[in-house]
Amino acid sequence: MLRASFVPPGEIRQLRGLTRLRASLTEDMAAGKKRVEKILEDSLVKMPVAVTDIFGVSGRAMLNDLISGQRDPKVLAQHARGRMRAKIGQLEELLAGRFTDDHGYLIATLLTHIDALQASIDELTAKIEEHIAARLPLAGPVCTACGVIGEHAPGCAGEGTPPLPLLDRLDEIPGIGRHIGQVLIAEPGTDMSVFPTAGHLASWAKMTPRTIQSGASIRHGRTGKGNPWLRSALGDAAMAAGKTQTHLGDRHRSIRHRRGTQRALVATGRGLPEIARCLISDPAARFTDLGAGYRDQLRGRDTTTRKIRELERANPGMKVTLTPISPAAPPAAGQAATPQASPSGPDPHNDMSLTRYPAPEVVARTPTVLPHVRHRTPVPGYAGCCRLPGQGGVFPISFGLGGRSGGLCRHSKIN
């Protein structure tokens, strides 16, 4: 018998249709914006170099002025607002291109298309929120103290705080906004009994690399092709979480430094559905960030534990105990602190009267040219070699004292 496939209920399938249509329209709008940048490049108007978002307030005002027929770069640069006012001189150089009426017509058509897509996306977002609030009771407001949906239980400790809906609790996860939270509700649904553990949900989303084993050889394979709508949303959330000063962001940067960006995105994206599954299955649960320095605390504690175990393993029958050092008493008022002498005598690294390295003894020798050397005449600078007292190494003068220990000059032989 084949295992039954996951078929969500009708309310979740309708919500999927709304979120997936919004994702498709968002991709179309991004493609239209890229096309506008291509047209600006064709007209030699380098506005994207200085303007981060050409579809913002300042950028849109410049585009509308270009479409209306204005070609003077000084007039166009005056549309800059806020911190962009400091770039007016640069904007005047970047806006001096070969913008024609044909370019203006193409950009005007694309801007109309982009505005229509944005209006449709806003309408779909409102429809999605209405659908979640009306047809998904498990996603409604829940008291995080008593776990009762919609209201507080009698004598609840959190009676003074308003209940939080599921979407607001998902929004507390780093990298997950309201849009991605809606996708996390629409794709797996609100019934987490389908996924026995959080790892099952991450595996269903294809965020867990396969393990390929052949005999004693074990290696990791690809993650596979899963739900593209959920996977793309988790990838966007992982990139956003990697830029935050949180535990997820610290973990993402640590993996990226050691294993690369793609593996870091998969590792961070795997943790997001696991956290979401805990919040969806437990109405009273809320996300709590461990902090950006949590890994350093664990690393220091693990290092201490590992060193203690190594010492105890090297000394059977002995136990290592860490004792805190009592701080030294501060000097009295008006009395200068005197340096304490080392119990083992003067420190040779701090005592400038000691000679740490003996002076090399220069010994003049007559070199003999070897037959395998390409040139037949002695090389200048190899006529003498220096020998350190107490050592058997002979070092060529031209190489200094950093030559190989016990090696001879390859151009001459000492008689």
CATH number at residue 115: 1.10.287
pLDDT at 174: 94
Say if 350 falls within a structural domain.
no
pLDDT of residue 371: 47
Quote the pLDDT of residue 410: 45
For 274, how many CA atoms within 13 A lie in the half-sphere containing its CB?
A: 17
Contact criterion met (CB below 8 Å) for 364 and 383: yes
> How far is 142 from 165, CA to CA, in rounded Å?
6
pLDDT on residue 347: 45
- Give a yes or no: residue 324 inside a domain: no
- Residue 305: predicted pLDDT: 87
Residue 49 vs residues 59, 62, 383: alpha-carbon distances, Å = 12, 14, 62
Q: Reply yes or no on whether the pLDDT at 334 is more than 90.
A: no
Q: What is the pLDDT of residue 59?
A: 94
Contact 324, 330 (CB under 8 A): no
> Based on the domain organization, do 179 and 123 belong to the same domain?
no
Which domain-ending residue is among 259, 282, 305? Answer: 305
Split into its structural domains, the chain has a count of 3
Do 256 and 398 belong together in one domain? no
* Structural domain contains residue 57: yes
Report whether 184 contacts 171 (CB < 8 A): no
User: Own/partner pairs for 406-409, CB < 8 Å, 24+ apart?
Assistant: 409/367, 409/382, 409/385
Q: b vs e for 267-288, b when ≥16 Cβ sit within 10 Å of the residue's Cβ?
A: bbbbbbbbbbbebbbebeeeee
Based on the domain organization, do 146 and 286 belong to the same domain?
yes
Map tokens 């020998």 to a residue: 387
| pLDDT per residue as tens digits for the range 205-232 | 888 888 888 888 888 888 888 889 999 9
Q: Looking at the domain assignment, is residue 215 inside a domain?
A: no
If pLDDT is split at 50, 70 and 90, which confidence band does 255 have?
A: very high
Within-domain flag for 300? yes
| Same domain as 291, residue 176 | yes
Average pLDDT, the chain: 80
| 25, 121 contact by CB (below 8 A) | yes
Q: Which residue has the tokens 């829940």?
A: 142
Residue 24 lies in a domain: yes
376 and 234 inside one domain: no
Residues 132 and 142 in one domain: no
Q: Do residues 111 and 192 share a domain? A: no
pTM of the model: 0.69
Residue 385: which domain range?
Answer: 361-414
CB 173 within 8 A of CB 225: no
pLDDT at 147: 65
Residue 181 resides in a domain: yes
Regarding whether 393 and 256 lie in a shared domain, the answer is no
The answer on 130 and 32 residing in a single domain is: yes
pLDDT in tens, 80-127: 998 999 999 999 999 998 999 999 999 999 999 999 999 999 999 999
Instruction: Give domain status of residue 142, yes or no.
Output: yes
Q: Does 73 share its domain with 130? A: yes
Rounded Cα distance between 357 and 67, Å, is 78
Q: State mean pLDDT over 354-369.
A: 48
Read off the pLDDT of residues 371-393 as tens digits, 9 standing for 90 and up: 444 444 444 444 444 443 444 44
Give CA–CA dist 359/248, Å, rounded: 57
Among the candidates 237, 271, 305, a domain finishes at: 305
The answer on 289 and 176 residing in a single domain is yes
Please tell me whether residues 86 and 175 are part of one structural domain.
Answer: no
